[in-house]
């Protein structure tokens, strides 16, 4: 049973930091409370499987005591001194932290990293406490197209804390009971009160979709804005790092830390007036029926919420353009019958990112893609259990070579198409908004621009279940500050983020 000293479903990092500064709690007490919540619902209770691994309690408590002692002696490393967080299990961590790095794959479970990835090391130096590694879609989704999002052999199926009964049998790719994209564990962990902050990675939708499904504020930074060394991913041209939190203030502090900024972001007046916002259409900009069913009134509920959000913002002062002239991107990134994102990712993965990731380990059971494929075949019962068979993406990569010159040409064309489409709108607007259950992140990924998510409402999709939905937001390269200012204004104007009813009901019943 979780510790009831804190309301962990609501507690933000900023509020926890205030309690620490005022001497009303300690980092030791915070760590104990979060560990109790994790023990109650990660593999027990609601069985959310949000975390693949949790650091040893004695290690965490020793770190927390050290940070408490520093604070009591007048030393505070940052505003996040003594605050727990989790990161997606794609960042290498030194064995001294007690956390393996698997990317969701059993072949890496026994691997021993040489170091902690620079971005995580920086957060630790700032006084944050890494409680655990978040579950994900194995290899960030690069294994077989048949796997459900949020499933990995090392972590099981990540569940949404908002859904009674978890992922429905036979659920569609991004159906309502799904927790979302590959950073699903990072989102579920924050929404479930396991930690106040988390780190994820995204190419297209891997942060935005799970954050939207978890009622969180999230921001994936611009390409090259955050150091991705020591991180599993597809392509340095596409993979970006971002944070998730329960408030914009938390997210702003975390984003500044990730970007290693010398000064915090200024969130401004938190007023909506002064912004020029472009809303895409909904038709063509929401998951199609083959990816997510829309039973009953679900689609109209989201459409109404989306339309009302644009109208409400317009009434509060911003200049709002509805149904802006921006073509849906589904077909915009096809070239000679091939998906540009896929071709760039696969070439870079085989030739750059996977070798770099494997080189981060002193010892490792696999040293190449071919050895990973062989390992999975030799350990099918663990790596490809019933219901999760297959590794066609990986075997195809072993068998098919790709042309580097073609990859470079595709990269140039991808950037051209992405920036051309977005810049045309951003000439007259500060922010482009769309429904988070849709493809705006494709344009942001193509251009290398930041993409964010804010909670908007909940949609009831069955007699028992409802889940959050939100808005995705993008702005120009390096415009994280502008996005955060708009998000802060939005947060002030719109209702509070929804809380997960299964956890509230569990707490009312058992606490």
**Position 77 confidence tier, pLDDT thresholds 50, 70, 90:** very high
* Of 216, 259, 264, residue with least CA distance to 467: 216
Question: pLDDT at residue 119 above 70?
Answer: yes
**Domain shared by 183 and 171, yes or no:** yes
**Domain shared by 216 and 200, yes or no:** yes
Question: pLDDT at residue 3 above 80?
Answer: no
Question: pLDDT at residue 5 above 60?
Answer: yes
**Domain shared by 163 and 207, yes or no:** yes
pLDDT of residue 336: 84
Let me know if residue 4 belongs to a domain. Answer: no
CATH number for the domain that contains residue 24: 3.90.1300.10
**Domain shared by 208 and 326, yes or no:** yes
**Domain shared by 505 and 416, yes or no:** yes
Let me know if residue 152 belongs to a domain. Answer: yes
**Domain shared by 44 and 72, yes or no:** yes
Let me know if residue 3 belongs to a domain. Answer: no
Give the SS3 label for residue 444.
helix
**Domain shared by 350 and 240, yes or no:** no
**Domain shared by 245 and 350, yes or no:** no
Residue 281 CB-density burial (10 A; 0-12 exposed, 13-18 middle, 19+ buried): middle
- Largest Cα–Cα distance of the chain, in whole Å? 64
Who contacts 376 (Cβ-Cβ below 8 Å, separation ≥6)? 107, 383, 384, 391, 394
Q: How far apart are CA 251 and CA 231, in angstroms?
A: 21
Q: Is 406 a catalytic residue?
A: no
Name the domain count of the chain.
Answer: 2
Last residue of a domain, one of 406, 432, 451: 406
| 420-430 average pLDDT score | 98
pLDDT of residue 146: 82
**Domain shared by 321 and 346, yes or no:** no
306, 282 contact by CB (below 8 A):
yes
Angle between helices 440-447 and 340-348 (to 10 degrees): 50
The per-residue pLDDT for range 160-181, each reduced to its tens digit, is 999 999 999 999 999 999 999 9
Annotated active-site residue in 160, 182, 184, 472: 182
63, 111 contact by CB (below 8 A):
no
Q: Is 114 a catalytic residue?
A: no
Q: How far apart are CA 64 and CA 239, in angstroms?
A: 32
Let me know if residue 7 belongs to a domain. Answer: no
Backbone angles phi, psi at 213, to 5 degrees: -75, -15
The per-residue pLDDT for range 334-381, each reduced to its tens digit, is 988 889 999 999 999 999 999 999 999 999 999 999 999 999 999 999
pLDDT of residue 403: 87
Question: pLDDT at residue 193 above 60?
Answer: yes
**Domain shared by 241 and 182, yes or no:** yes
Annotated active-site residue in 27, 53, 88, 222: 88
Last residue of a domain, one of 355, 371, 406: 406
208, 451 contact by CB (below 8 A):
yes
pLDDT of residue 511: 66
**Domain shared by 121 and 72, yes or no:** yes
| 9-30 average pLDDT score | 98
Question: pLDDT at residue 503 above 60?
Answer: yes
Question: pLDDT at residue 4 above 60?
Answer: no
Q: How far apart are CA 446 and CA 413, in angstroms?
A: 9
pTM for the predicted model, two decimal places: 0.98
Domain that holds residue 415: 13-336+407-510
Q: Is 206 a catalytic residue?
A: yes
350, 237 contact by CB (below 8 A):
no
Let me know if residue 110 belongs to a domain. Answer: yes
pLDDT of residue 510: 77
To which residue do tokens 């942001």 refer?
444
Let me know if residue 331 belongs to a domain. Answer: yes
| 271-298 average pLDDT score | 95
**Domain shared by 422 and 301, yes or no:** yes
To which residue do tokens 């209770």 refer?
45
| 81-102 average pLDDT score | 98
* Strand 466-474 relative to strand 431-435, pairing: antiparallel
Last residue of a domain, one of 364, 391, 406: 406
Percent of the chain topping pLDDT 70: 99
Annotated active-site residue in 117, 206, 235, 472: 206
């Amino acid at each position: 049973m979780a510790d009831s000293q804190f309301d962990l479903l609501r507690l933000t990092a900023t509020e926890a930091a205030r309690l620490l500064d005022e001497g009303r709690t300690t980092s030791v007490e915070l760590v104990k409370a979060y560990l109790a919540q994790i023990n109650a619902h990660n593999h027990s209770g609601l069985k959310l499987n949000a975390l693949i691994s949790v650091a040893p309690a004695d290690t965490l408590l020793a770190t927390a005591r050290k940070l408490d002692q520093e604070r009591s002696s007048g030393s505070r490393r940052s505003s996040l001194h003594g605050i727990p967080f989790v990161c997606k299990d794609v960042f290498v961590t030194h064995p001294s932290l007690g956390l393996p790095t698997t990317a969701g794959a059993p072949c890496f479970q026994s691997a021993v990293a040489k170091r902690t990835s620079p971005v995580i090391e920086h957060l630790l130096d700032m006084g944050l406490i890494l409680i655990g590694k978040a579950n994900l879609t194995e290899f960030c989704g690069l294994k077989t197209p048949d796997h459900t999002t949020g499933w990995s052999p090392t972590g099981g199926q990540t569940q949404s804390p908002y859904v009674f009964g978890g992922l429905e049998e036979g659920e569609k790719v991004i159906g309502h009971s799904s927790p979302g994209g590959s950073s699903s564990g990072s989102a579920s962990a924050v929404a479930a009160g396991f930690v106040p902050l988390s780190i994820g990675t995204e190419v297209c939708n891997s942060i935005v979709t799970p954050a939207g499904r978890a009622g969180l504020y999230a921001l994936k930074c611009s390409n090259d804005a955050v150091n991705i060394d020591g991180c599993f991913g597809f392509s340095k041209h596409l993979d970006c790092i971002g944070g998730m939190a329960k408030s914009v203030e938390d997210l702003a502090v975390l984003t500044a830390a990730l970007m290693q900024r010398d000064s915090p972001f200024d969130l401004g007046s938190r007023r909506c007036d002064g912004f020029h916002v472009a809303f895409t259409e909904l038709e063509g900009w929401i998951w199609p029926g083959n990816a997510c069913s829309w039973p009953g009134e679900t689609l109209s509920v989201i459409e109404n919420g989306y339309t009302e959000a644009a109208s409400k913002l317009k009434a509060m002062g911003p200049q709002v353009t509805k149904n802006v002239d921006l073509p849906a991107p589904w077909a915009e990134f096809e070239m000679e019958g091939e998906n540009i994102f896929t071709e760039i990712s696969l070439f870079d993965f085989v030739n750059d990112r996977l070798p770099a990731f494997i080189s981060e380990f002193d010892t490792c059971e696999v040293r190449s893609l071919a050895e990973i494929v062989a390992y999975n075949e030799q350990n099918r019962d663990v790596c490809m259990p019933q219901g999760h068979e297959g590794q066609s993406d990986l075997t195809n990569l072993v068998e098919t070579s790709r042309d580097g010159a073609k990859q470079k040409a595709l990269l140039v064309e991808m950037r051209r198409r992405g920036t051309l489409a977005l810049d045309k709108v951003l000439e007259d607007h500060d922010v482009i908004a769309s429904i988070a259950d849709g493809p705006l992140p494709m344009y942001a990924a193509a251009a290398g621009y930041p993409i964010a998510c804010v909670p908007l409402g909940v949609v009831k999709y069955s007699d028992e279940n409802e889940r959050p939905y939100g808005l995705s937001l993008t702005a120009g390269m390096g415009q994280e500050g502008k996005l955060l200012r708009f998000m802060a204004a939005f947060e002030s104007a719109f209702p509070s983020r929804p809380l997960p009813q299964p956890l509230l009901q569990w707490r009312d019943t058992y606490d």
